[in-house]
Amino acid sequence: MPSDSTIQVRQVDRYRWLVPKQGPMRVDGLVFADRRLMADVRGDQALQQVVNVATLPGIVGHSIAMPDIHWGYGFPIGGVAAFDPDEGGVVSPGGVGYDINCGVRLLRSDLVVGDIRPKLRELMNQIMRDVPAGVGVGQRDLRLGPQDLLGVLEKGARWAVEHGFGVPADLDRIESGGALSGADTAAVSPRALERGRKQLGTVGSGNHFVEVGYVDEVYDEHAAHVMGLDLDTVTVFIHSGSRGLGHQVCTDFIDVMLRATAKYGIDLPDKQLACAPLDSDEGKLYLGAMNAAANFAFANRQVMMHGVREAIERVLGRSWTKLGLDLVYDVAHNNAKWEEHQVDGRRRKLCVHRKGATRAFPPGNAELPAAYAEIGQPVLIPGDMGRYSFVLAGTERASQETFASTCHGAGRQMSRTQAKKSVRRDGRDLRREFEEMGIEVRAASFATVAEEIPEAYKDVADVVDVVHQAGIGRKVVRLRPLGVLKG
Amino acid sequence: MEDPLGPGVREVEHTADVGIVVEASDFEQLLHRAAVGVFALMYGKADADLGPTDLFNPLGTRVHLGASDDQGNQAGMPRPITVVGSDPAAILLKWLRELLFLHETEGLAYRRATFDVVDEERVSATVWMGPEPTPAACEFKGVTYHDLDVTPGVDGWRARVILDV
């Protein structure tokens, strides 16, 4: 595997590494990592991708990498970059990724572990029935007509609520209210619509999941209580995105952007960074299509959550409202959004790309629901399927240093091939291993579980400690898995 | 030992995604081998020894997206595919995209193709797809330009492709 040993890097403090401008870089790179994670970062092409992003027109501040950074395509996964249209800034589908608006949401409940443990097997089976997962798997009962699909693309999670999937109060607990404005449904190709038609409310595959867990450690009692996440509280994590619809939008627009790159004379170190000026026709068209796909993702997670609520109702025999199955928050980690940030002493409207990075607004931000105004935005950081996940809160320092962004997960440290080799070499009995950990695992295929073994990922606690210590996120609680449905 | 991804195809390491290197005697064979390799990866042909596919799926629940659900099983029907591009790399990328689109919308896997036109800027082919007995193990969200390389040589063609998982 190629590495980035020739790139100059200077340690700023214990958790920050500067990649000074070199070659065609327009800004410095800034990597958040401790010494050990930084060694991992230098082990593949991720750092080169930080450098590549820094060469794009109109980038301001830094080309930023979170501690869960790893080698992606175009942008690194765990990359953040902001572009100013007044400085020729660009938008790049490679800075968003194929899974547009992929994200996570977290439900809390009035249940504690003892309530759920005896029925866990039954519950995971029911979730598997009600929330379809796996490749080529669609919704049996929800196949959208053309008008429905356009409604989803325009209204996002609101469409789902209007059609009985959840309640209006859910919308207040979703980033951007569960719908991005400026969705341009005409910019979404017939192919993208065809791919999305049967996939609303489905998990997909890869690292997507539904995870039943519980709060096993509290770091900030006040914030935890405000979020409804007191010790021992049963929770449900949901991770999915815009499915085939979003993948197709990205595919369509990479070709558009490659032509635009030539048209506007933009030099690229990697074709997958294909981009167009934000104020160009191509840039506007992509943002319109991307917003529509993002709304599909919000609606997808809303419908999935409805399926989870119904599954829990069926197994426990009580309504979800009586069980207090409320949405804590839904946050995306793959998108490009218009936001205002302070750069070089002045407030600017920027297009912030987050690819495998989470928005993390500080206390007092106007977009936050009233309940979170004082504590900051809940930031949801899933780990691997065997250890733990974290909930953090957004901080003012993230607002100043990272365009209000923080990490999004553990980050892979083994390729999928390596993970499967490890399972094969050691002759591991994965089902028994998870049973011994007290975790009920469901997956459409065995290979998915083998690819997602806990050690395939960095320890998310290490990643979260870096963002906590660096001040770009504040630990609130840790969650332990009880049952996992993988895609 | 038989190559699980098909002749001339091997997997290359990528931290988050999946990549293959394909070698072939000519461009037409390269397109076929790449297709075989991608679908072999998707259906876990190299992973059969890992464990029973349904070990974590006690209900056997799955609902296919494919045409077989609502329009009858169309496996075996030939499908025309034409792709144009500025160079062989673009052709290969678009060829694989077409096959993945057919897979996602019809739930069928690549079997074989007959090629009517094959040059470095255009391919026109008839493709046969069919159902697999087991579910796909992974989903490819897209075929990327990242590290994409298609090179003719003295002994034939070589390609490297990274797919987003």
Q: What ranges in A59-201 are assigned the alpha helix state H? A: 113-116, 120-130, 146-155, 157-162, 168-171, 190-196
Tell me if the domain spanning A10-486 has CATH number 3.40.50.300. no
- Is the CATH number of domain B9-47+64-164 3.55.10.10? yes
- A-interface mutation test, from B56, B68, B108, most A Cβ less than 10 A away: B56
Nearest chain B residue to A271 by CA: give it: B145
pLDDT digits (tens, 9 = 90+) for B12-36: 888 778 899 999 999 999 999 999 9
Predicted local confidence at residue B67, as pLDDT: 37
Other C-beta atoms lying within 10 Å of the C-beta of residue A485? 29
Whether chain B has a CB inside 8 Å of the CB on A73: the answer is yes
Q: Tell me what pLDDT residue A417 has.
A: 87
Q: Could you read off the pLDDT of A13-70 as tens digits, one per residue?
A: 999 999 999 999 999 999 999 999 999 888 888 999 999 999 999 999 999 999 999 8
Cβ-based neighbours of B34, under 8 Å, separated by 6 or more: B9, B20, B22, B92, B95, B96, B159, B161
Q: How confident is the model over A79-105, as a mean pLDDT?
A: 97
Task: Using an 8 Å CB-CB cutoff, list chain A residues near B144.
Answer: 73-74, 272
Burial class (CB in 10 A: 0-12, 13-18, 19+), A143: middle
Q: Which of B131, B94, B152 is nearest to A255 (CA)?
A: B94
Distance CA A76, CA A70 (A): 6
Please report the pLDDT score of residue A136 as a whole number. 58
A99 at the B interface (CB within 8 A)? yes
The Cα-based distances of B105 to A92, A378, B99 in angstroms read 27, 36, 10
Query: Coil, strand, or helix at residue A407?
Result: coil
Decide if A53 contacts A19 (C-beta within 8 A).
no
CA distance A414 to A384: 12
CA distance B27 to chain A (A): 22
pLDDT band at B2 (very low <50, low <70, confident <90, very high): low
Q: Chain A closest CA to B97's CA: distance in Å? A: 9
pLDDT at position A4 is: 59
Interface of A with B in 341-380 (CB under 8 A): none
Would you list the domain boundaries of chain B?
Answer: 9-47+64-164
The whole-angstrom distance between A223's CA and the closest CA on chain B is 33
Q: Is the dihedral of CA A271, A273, A276, A281 positive or negative?
A: positive
Which residues of A belong to the active site? 408
pLDDT, greater one: B13 or A462: A462
Residue A93 contacts B, CB cutoff 8 Å: no
Model pLDDT for residues B71-117, shown as the tens digit of each residue: 444 556 799 999 999 999 999 999 999 999 999 888 889 999 999 99
Domain ranges of chain A: 10-486
Interface of A with B in 225-244 (CB under 8 A): 244
